[in-house]
């Protein structure tokens, strides 16, 4: 129950630097870029769960939220400011959902910290 295809222990054996997200940030794999600055890269999710579904990644390779330390406070703050900036850019004025999946039970399918920005429709609760 709750298993999402692609989420297994093997996901977490891969170093963040070797993931598909590293290759997207490096420009080795194409993406539909939404926003980029010195610390953040964002693009449209290829399997959207809402009319607007954007992934926002720190450029620093962090495996997940559980890998964040006090030394990452500035980076994480910048990430959240970028989320708000992108939501405004995408005209999500009526609201949106921000999701960070962490670990296997959290359904994290790529071993790189990333934020899902979902909007463009009424969200429901509980999320799943």
CB-CB contact of 20 with 29 (8 Å): yes
Can you name the residues that pair with 119 across neighbouring β-strands? 52, 96
Distance between CA 6 and CA 62 in Å, rounded? 19
Q: Minimal CA–CA distance to 24: which of 49, 57, 53? A: 57
Catalytic residue among 53, 111, 114, 116: 114
Active-site residue, 114 included: yes
Helix (H) or strand (E) holding 98: strand 96-99
Residues assigned a catalytic role: 114
């Amino acid at each position: 129950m709750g298993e999402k295809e692609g989420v297994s222990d093997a996901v977490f054996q891969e170093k963040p630097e070797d993931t598909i997200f590293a290759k997207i940030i490096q420009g080795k794999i194409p993406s539909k870029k939404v926003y980029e600055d010195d610390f953040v890269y964002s693009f449209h999710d290829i399997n959207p769960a809402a009319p607007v579904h954007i992934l926002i990644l720190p450029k620093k390779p962090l495996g997940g939220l559980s890998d964040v330390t006090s030394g990452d406070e500035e980076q994480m703050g910048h990430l959240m400011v970028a989320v708000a900036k992108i939501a405004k850019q995408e005209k999500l004025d009526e609201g949106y959902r921000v999701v960070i999946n962490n670990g296997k039970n959290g359904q994290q399918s790529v071993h790189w910290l990333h934020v899902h920005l979902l909007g463009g429709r009424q969200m429901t609760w509980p999320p799943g």
